[in-house]
């Protein structure tokens, strides 16, 4: 039985290893938007090439060609993200990516090589740092303040949606030695953790310094995905927080849709945030991924999980009932953070049912959504509206909800007033609005412009949300979700038998 458990775990590990692969490389067929009706919004015939790319383990028995084998043998003594990427290409596990991705991988490989060469100076080995020294570092720093900046600069990757930023950073992170003090986390989750720690150290003279000390003791190398600042509370503490982290030797690797100079653009008290941008550019190499390809949209599509139209409540509840099977749905309560809880109107068998108003019109945030998806793997969401000036705050929450769902690889079943693109057609950036002038800036503008929402942060974020909603409704994403749930269930059953 132990052997069976190990087998299931190894399968799940292999599955996770390939989890994001299909969004990272060049696929030869693009999707086509074809039909908006009450049952689906994307449709494409089955694509064997994509399936092979998504689930390469099925084809693992395929022999290497002589040239590919020689290529792997040449790099056998090397390691790092670019080396691993080339190995996967040679093994047929990935298709060739574009030049922009390869250029980014070269930057990540350069950073990897520098970190390996300077591992001792960067204090990366967790076992080389005496526990007593870690425990007393903050105490002595209060008596004798000193800085210990890393000799290696970090890396800030930014670019358009779906260009493979997360996959590339994960590829980098997965190649790092296991004994290093490293951490990979979504930026939303990271900041929630920071605020939770601040609350815990509320009585200390300078809680932010204590929190920075704790974080850098746990992980010198921080990999933060989706760096995006929209909250004024986050904006006001980032400069001091990262000033302390960098002073403690922390190294930042981050992905974002925004260039550093465009972070928190138009935000409240942004002048207090600007020093952080200077600090970020000083301690990180800034690299743009210039690809114009959205790999998330290079997938086939599934019918039956994104319903467009009004008065589809009955249909959504039928789908929800199919997903929970013989289980009985009932109201539930989930713990969030710092003693907070979230009321779930209906939940059963890992599936939660909410109306849009209950989840996005109430004062909820990333912490609530993370708490929700620690307990549920599927969300049935009823009545997603088109967004505009009248419901801008709800639009922000919906963007955050989709980000958290995507990070947790959760499944979305929903009814909406339009396709993902149509939901955000009234959300524009300042630049977009200027191009639409003078019609949108004059008093005689058309009635259909009266709900136009000019918001830079939301205008940039909408592209990411549209891209993710498209991928989350794809055949590949849903098959992956189902397979991962099955493997998790098999592992749980095996552990129960072993116990």
**Which of these, 50, 103, 58, 55, lies nearest to 81 by C-alpha position?**
103
Q: Tokens 């600042």 appear where? A: 229
Residue at 210 is within a domain: yes
Residue at 130 is within a domain: no
pLDDT in tens, 105-130: 999 999 999 999 999 999 999 887 55
Query: According to the model, what pLDDT value does residue 25 have?
Result: 38
Query: According to the model, what pLDDT value does residue 16 have?
Result: 45
The reply to whether 363 and 281 lie within a common domain is no
Average pLDDT over residues 67-72: 41
Whether 115 contacts 298, CB under 8 Å: no
The reply to whether 169 and 207 lie within a common domain is yes
Query: According to the model, what pLDDT value does residue 197 have?
Result: 93
**Which of these, 278, 259, 251, lies nearest to 108 by C-alpha position?**
251
Query: According to the model, what pLDDT value does residue 447 have?
Result: 44
CB atoms < 10 A from the CB of 133, how many? 11
Average pLDDT over the chain reads 79
Q: Can you give the CATH number for the domain in which 243 is found?
A: 3.40.50.300
The reply to whether 488 and 383 lie within a common domain is yes
- In this structure, of 118-132, 266-280, 397-411, the range with the lowest mean pLDDT score is 118-132
pLDDT band for position 164 (cuts 50, 70, 90): confident
pLDDT in tens, 327-357: 999 999 998 877 789 999 999 999 999 999 9
Of residues 71 and 108, which shows the higher confidence score?
A: 108
pLDDT in tens, 430-483: 877 877 755 444 433 444 567 899 888 888 889 889 988 988 888 888 888 888
Query: According to the model, what pLDDT value does residue 36 have?
Result: 37
The reply to whether 189 and 272 lie within a common domain is yes
The reply to whether 389 and 471 lie within a common domain is yes
Helix (H) or strand (E) holding 251: strand 251-256
Pairing of strands 341-348, 330-335: antiparallel
Domain housing 92: 81-125+147-289
Residue 32 predicted with pLDDT over 90:
no
Helix (H) or strand (E) holding 423: helix 420-423
The reply to whether 121 and 214 lie within a common domain is yes
Question: Of 237, 261, 289, which marks where a domain is finished?
Answer: 289
**Which of these, 135, 225, 221, 122, lies nearest to 178 by C-alpha position?**
221
Number of separate domains in the chain: 2
**Which of these, 103, 457, 83, 25, lies nearest to 287 by C-alpha position?**
103
Helix (H) or strand (E) holding 351: strand 351-355
Residue at 137 is within a domain: no
Handedness of CA 72, 96, 172, 251 (dihedral sign): positive
Query: According to the model, what pLDDT value does residue 374 have?
Result: 92
Residue at 55 is within a domain: no
The reply to whether 285 and 347 lie within a common domain is no
Residue at 20 is within a domain: no
- Which residues are bridge partners to 343 per DSSP? 333
If phi > 0 it is left, if psi is from -120 to 50 it is alpha, else beta; for residue 409 that is left
Query: According to the model, what pLDDT value does residue 4 have?
Result: 52
- Model pTM score: 0.61
The reply to whether 423 and 484 lie within a common domain is yes
The reply to whether 330 and 229 lie within a common domain is no
- In this structure, of 93-102, 246-255, 310-319, the range with the lowest mean pLDDT score is 93-102
Whether 429 contacts 456, CB under 8 Å: yes
Residue at 34 is within a domain: no
Structure tokens at 488: 């998790």
Is 389 buried (19+), middle (13-18) or exposed (0-12) by CB count in 10 A? middle
The reply to whether 285 and 159 lie within a common domain is yes
Question: Of 289, 313, 335, which marks where a domain is finished?
Answer: 289
DSSP 151: S
Whether 10 contacts 496, CB under 8 Å: no
If phi > 0 it is left, if psi is from -120 to 50 it is alpha, else beta; for residue 75 that is alpha
Residue at 323 is within a domain: yes
The reply to whether 456 and 492 lie within a common domain is yes
Average pLDDT over residues 77-93: 82
Cα(91)–Cα(93) distance, integer angstroms: 5
Query: According to the model, what pLDDT value does residue 48 have?
Result: 43
Map residue 498 onto helix, strand or coil.
helix
Average pLDDT over residues 153-173: 88
Query: According to the model, what pLDDT value does residue 496 have?
Result: 73
Question: Of 289, 321, 337, which marks where a domain is finished?
Answer: 289
Cα(245)–Cα(213) distance, integer angstroms: 7
Residue 99 predicted with pLDDT over 80:
no
* E-assigned strand segments in 220-372: 221-225, 251-256, 284-289, 306-308, 330-335, 341-348, 351-355
pLDDT band for position 187 (cuts 50, 70, 90): very high
Residue at 76 is within a domain: no
The reply to whether 256 and 336 lie within a common domain is no
pLDDT in tens, 292-328: 555 555 555 445 588 888 888 998 999 999 999 999 9
Cα(319)–Cα(381) distance, integer angstroms: 11
* E-assigned strand segments in 61-106: none
Residue 21 predicted with pLDDT over 70:
no
Instruction: Dump the DSSP string for 380-442.
Output: EEEEEPPPSGGGHHHHHHHHHHHHHHHHTT-EEEEEESS-HHHHTTTEE-HHHHHHHTTTTTS
């Amino acid at each position: 039985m132990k052997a069976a458990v190990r087998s299931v775990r190894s399968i799940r590990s292999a599955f996770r290893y390939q989890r994001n692969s299909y969004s990272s490389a060049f696929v030869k067929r693009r999707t086509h938007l074809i039909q908006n009706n009450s049952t689906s919004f994307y449709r494409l015939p089955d694509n064997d090439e994509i399936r092979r790319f998504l689930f390469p383990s099925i084809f693992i028995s395929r022999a290497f060609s002589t040239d590919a084998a020689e290529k792997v043998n040449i790099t056998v003594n090397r390691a790092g993200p670019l080396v691993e990427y080339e190995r996967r290409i040679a093994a047929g596990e990935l298709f060739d990516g574009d030049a922009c991705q390869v250029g980014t991988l070269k930057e990540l490989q350069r950073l990897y090589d520098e970190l390996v060469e300077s591992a001792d100076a960067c204090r990366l080995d967790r076992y080389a740092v005496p526990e007593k020294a870690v425990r007393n570092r903050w105490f002595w720093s209060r008596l004798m303040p000193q800085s210990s900046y890393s000799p290696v600069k970090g890396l800030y990757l930014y670019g358009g949606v779906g260009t493979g930023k997360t996959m590339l950073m994960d590829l980098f992170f997965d190649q790092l030695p296991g004994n290093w003090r490293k951490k990979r986390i979504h930026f939303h989750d990271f900041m929630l953790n920071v605020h939770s720690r601040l609350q815990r150290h509320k009585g200390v003279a300078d809680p932010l310094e204590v929190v920075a000390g704790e974080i850098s003791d746990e992980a010198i190398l921080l990999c933060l995905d989706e760096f995006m600042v929209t909250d004024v509370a986050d904006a006001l503490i980032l400069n001091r927080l990262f000033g302390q982290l960098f002073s403690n030797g922390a190294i930042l690797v981050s992905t974002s849709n925004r260039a550093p100079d465009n972070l928190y653009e138009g935000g409240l008290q942004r002048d207090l945030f600007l020093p952080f941008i200077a600090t970020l550019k000083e301690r990180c190499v800034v690299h743009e991924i210039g690809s114009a390809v959205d790999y998330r949209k290079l997938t086939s599509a599934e019918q039956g999980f994104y319903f467009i139209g009004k008065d589809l409540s009955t249909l959504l509840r039928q789908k929800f009932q199919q997903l929970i099977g013989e289980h009985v749905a009932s109201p539930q309560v989930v713990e969030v953070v710092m003693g907070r809880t979230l009321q779930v109107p209906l939940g059963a068998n890992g599936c939660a049912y909410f109306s849009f108003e209950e989840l996005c019109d109430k004062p909820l945030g990333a912490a609530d959504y993370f708490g929700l998806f620690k307990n549920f793997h599927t969300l049935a969401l009823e009545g997603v509206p088109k967004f505009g000036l009248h419901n801008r705050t709800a639009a922000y929450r919906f963007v955050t909800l989709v980000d958290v769902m995507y990070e947790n690889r959760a499944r979305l079943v929903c009814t909406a007033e339009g396709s993902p693109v149509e939901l955000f057609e009234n959300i524009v950036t300042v630049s977009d609005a200027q191009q639409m002038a003078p019609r949108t800036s004059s008093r005689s503008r058309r009635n259909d412009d009266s709900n136009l929402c000019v918001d830079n942060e939301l205008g940039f974020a909408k592209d990411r949300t549209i891209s993710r909603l498209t991928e989350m409704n794809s055949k590949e994403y849903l098959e992956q979700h189902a397979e991962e749930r099955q493997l998790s269930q098999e592992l749980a059953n095996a552990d129960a038998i072993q116990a």
